[in-house]
Amino acid sequence: MKIDPTAVISPKADIEEGVEIGPYSVIGDDVCIGKDTKIGPHVVIEGPAVIGKGNKIYQFASIGTPPQDLTYKGEKTKVIIGDNNVLREFVTINRASTKEEGVTVIGNDNYLMAYAHVAHDCRLGNNIIMANSATLGGHVRVGDHAIISAFVAVHQFVRIGEYSFVGAKCGVDRDIPPFMLASVDETGPRAKLFGVNSVGLRRKGFSKETIEVLKKAYKIIWREHKNLSKGIEKAIAELPKIPELELLLSFIKSSKRGVVR
């Protein structure tokens, strides 16, 4: 364990072996920091918070601060962060409100670049990239392997599906289905679908056959039909029943905010 003498560590914090804490960082009550996590200078972590093993948290990051929610009255909620995440400079992660389960969750192996913001009650999976200044409103869900580019603003309660890609400077106010690519066009900053995230899927090892099925599904659901329900029916009838297609269709059918088109 290597803790700079200028760091302020609560006696109620639980710091495991191999942890490094840099100058002037502040670790509050009820914070648990897992083995081999490295915390840079001027980091603030407020509890209750659980941070797993092997994370790298850079200077001026702020974790576990109260939710930016006017209805919050100081209730005891928390943040849980998994293992092997990288949280770059000025990343902010708020603890939860009481409107759901009282916890903001970050999974494993995620990379949050400088100034990324994760609001209260968000749940992020694993292997996600959030680029510089990407912002998640409260209660957002982000699936595994999603990439959210710089300056993207995601509305409260939106879902970002697995293996999706969101281009820079988007305003995302509806769900982005798994495996899809969303970005802006000349009509304005609101996110729109531009097809399957083919490059990303190839890089992740998806077969040509799977990608082709997803491309056909995109064409049937979003290009041939204005009515999503009819497009889904046709996709079910005409396309092979592969797990990726099942996930895509299930995501669309379960959407409460509607999906990006």
For residue 184, what is the DSSP state? E
CA 180 vs. chain centroid, Å, equals 16
Tokens of 95: 């603890």
**Per-residue pLDDT at 249:** 97
The model's pLDDT over 219-231, given as tens digits with 9 standing for 90+, comes to 999 999 778 999 9
Tokens of 89: 């400079």
Q: How many helices and strands, by DSSP H and E, does the chain display?
A: 4, 28
CA distances from 124 to 9, 83, 135, 157, 181 (A): 27, 13, 13, 13, 18
Separation of alpha carbons 155 and 106, rounded Å: 18
If pLDDT is split at 50, 70 and 90, which confidence band does 90 have? very high
Catalytic residue among 82, 107, 121, 200: 121
Catalytic residue among 40, 138, 161, 231: 138
For residue 60, what is the DSSP state? T
Looking at residue 43, its amino acid is V
Catalytic residue among 40, 52, 64, 120: 120
Separation of alpha carbons 54 and 57, rounded Å: 10
Cβ-proximal residues to 55 (8 Å cutoff; 6+ apart), any chain: 34, 37, 38, 81, 83, 84, 85, 86, 87
Nearest Cα to 13, choosing from 41, 40, 47, 57?
47
What domains are there in the chain, each with its CATH number? 2-139 (2.160.10.10), 202-253 (1.20.1180.10)
The model's pLDDT over 9-38, given as tens digits with 9 standing for 90+, comes to 999 999 999 999 999 999 999 999 999 999
**Per-residue pLDDT at 17:** 97
Task: Based on the residue annotation, tell me whether 117 is a catalytic residue of this protein.
Answer: no
Task: Based on the residue annotation, tell me whether 138 is a catalytic residue of this protein.
Answer: yes
Looking at residue 72, its amino acid is Y
The model's pLDDT over 147-194, given as tens digits with 9 standing for 90+, comes to 999 999 999 999 999 999 999 999 999 999 999 999 998 888 999 999
